[in-house]
Amino acid sequence: MDTKGDSKAPFEPRLTAFVCNWCTYTGADLAGTSRLQMASNVRIIRLPCTGRIDPLFILKAFERGADGVIVSGCHPADCHYTSGNYHARRRFAIFNELSEFVGMDPGRLTFSWVSASEGAKWRDVVNEATEKARALGPFHAYPTAQDPAFEPEEEVAHAGA
Amino acid sequence: MQALRELARDLLAKGEVAVVIGWEEGPRGVRPAFVTRPEDADRLVFDARCVQNLATYLNPRRPHVAAMGKPAVCVKGCDARAVAGLVRESQVKREDVVLIGVRCSGVGPEANGPAVARDIAPRCAACDATEPAHTDHVVGEPATLPAGHGYDERLAELESLPAEKRWAYWQETFARCTRCNACRQVCPMCFCEQCVQDKTRPQWVESSPHPRGNLAWHLTRAMHQAGRCSGCAECERACPAGIPLMLLNRKVARTVEQRFGYRASADPAVPCPIGAFRMDDRQEFIR
C-alpha cells in the first residue's frame, strides 16, 4: 500500500474496524470464504463484544493515523452476552454526537450491525466506509494536531507477502 | 442562615454527626468549612457565594474526610444530585451521611463575588432544584430563581459553525490545557482508584500537555461524565486555563436527556442511563 507521505501516489485511506467476535467477525469471515471482492483498506481488530469497545479505542486509532473507523457487532437481540450491544449502542450514541461536536467528521466513523450471515452487508459497509474516507482525504488533522514533526507510520512489509 | 447554624449545632451537640461540612467566610470569599464543635456552628454561612459543591468531600478518594467520622453535608439542590450519584454507584451509603439541604436562589460565578448574585452562574439558569430533594433536612427561605443565561446559547452557537471551525476552536481551547488534573480532582464523580489517563501499560491517553493527549483526555472525561455529571460546574471553576468544560458536559448531558430521557437526579434509586438500556433506543446512526 502507498505511504501517506508520498504526495504523488494516489491516496489510499487506512481504516480500523473494531468488531465483535460472534457476529461481525464471523460475517467478515463469511465474506472472505465467499470470495466477495471488497476494499482491502480495513484492518480488523476482533473483540469479544461491542460492549468491550471503549470510545478510547476509536480515539487511539485516529491518533495512530487511521483515516476512518468502523465499529460493528451483533444486531439488537442477537448479542452473545445478551445485552452488550445495547450498552454499546448507548455509549456510541453519545460518542457519535460528542465527536461531531468537537469537529470530527462523522463520515470517518461508521457504526453497523452485521450478523454472521451478512457477508455481503460487511462488504458494503467496508466499501462505503473506505469510499467516504477516500473522499474526505487523510485525517492528519488529529495526529498532527499542532505537531508538525508528525510522520505517518510506515507500512510494515511482511517477508514473503 | 440562623436555621442552618442551629441545626448544625444541634446535630453536633446530640452526637448525631461528628462533623458538619458547610461554607464559611474566608480571606478570599467563601470557602468550605469543617465544623466539629457545636460552639463553632456560627462560622457557617450560606449565600450566593457558596459555589462549592461539598459533595466532593464524600468521594472515597478523600479518606481523611471519612476518618473524621459521620458527616453532615450542606448541599444545594444541585449538589444533592452529586451525593445521589455517589450513593447510586455504591461509593457512599446514604445512611452514613446526613444531608442538610439549603434552599438556593442561584449562586454567582465565583466564591468571592457579592453575597447577593447580580448575575447567576450559567449552570443556575435552568435550575430545577432550588428546593432540595431527597435530603434529611431543608433550611432557608423558599427561593426564586432570577433570570440568567445558560450554556445552551453558547452550545447552539458552536453547533452552528462548520466542522473545521469547531475543530479549530476546540484544538485552540484544549491547547491551553496543562493537564494539571484540577477538573478531575475537584469532581465529586471522579472516584476511580486508577484514572485511565494515569495508566501507562498500555498508555491510553498521552499524559504530557500535548494537543493529541489533551483531546483524548477531554473527550474521555466528558464520556465518563455521561449521565453522571451533576452539573455543578466545579471542573470549569477549578480549571486554571479557563477551558469551558461545562460545554462538553452540557453537550453530553443534553444528548443523554434527548435520547434516553434522563436528567441527573437527586434520587439514588433512579438508575444511571449508561448502565441501563432500552430495547428501543434510537439507532439512526447505526447502519
Q: How many CA atoms lie within 13 A of B81 on its CB side?
A: 20
Q: Residue A77: what pLDDT?
A: 92
What is d(CA B11, CA B96) in angstroms, rounded to the nearest whole number?
14
Interface test with B, best of A59, A96, A139 (most B CBs within 10 A): A59
With CA atoms as reference, report the closest residue to B247 among B157, B171, B141: B157
What pLDDT score was predicted for residue A88? 95
Q: Give me the residues paired with residue A51 across strands.
A: none
| Contact at CB, A94 and B216, closer than 8 angstroms | no
Q: What would the pLDDT profile of A28-43 be if each residue is shown by its tens digit?
A: 999 999 999 999 999 9
A93 — pLDDT class (breaks 50, 70, 90): very high
- Of B211, B222, B283, which has the smallest distance from its Cβ to A146's Cβ? B211
The closest CB to that of A101, out of B159, B205, B212, belongs to B159
**Helices assigned H by DSSP within B99-178:** 152-159, 163-174
- The cell numbers describing B284, all together, are 439512526
Residue A8 confidence (pLDDT) above 70: no
C-alpha cell at A49: 463484544
E strands along chain B, which residues? 19-26, 29-35, 44-45, 71-76, 98-102, 137-139
Of A56, A93, A103, the CB nearest to B204: A56
Q: Residue A146 pLDDT > 70, yes or no?
A: no
What's B130's DSSP letter?
S
In chain B, which stretches have pLDDT less than 50?
none
The cell numbers describing B218, all together, are: 477531554
The predicted model scores a pTM of 0.89
- Which residue's C-alpha cell is 471482492? A37
C-alpha cell at A25: 467477525
Query: HSE-up of A112 (CA within 13 Å, CB side)?
Result: 27
Distances (CA, A) of B167 to B54, B170, B173, B191: 35, 5, 10, 30
The C-alpha atoms of residue B102 and residue B77 are separated, in whole angstroms, by 7
What is the pLDDT of chain A when averaged over all its residues? 88
Q: What is the pLDDT of residue A2?
A: 44
Which residue bears the cell 447567576? B120
A105 or A147, which is more confident? A105
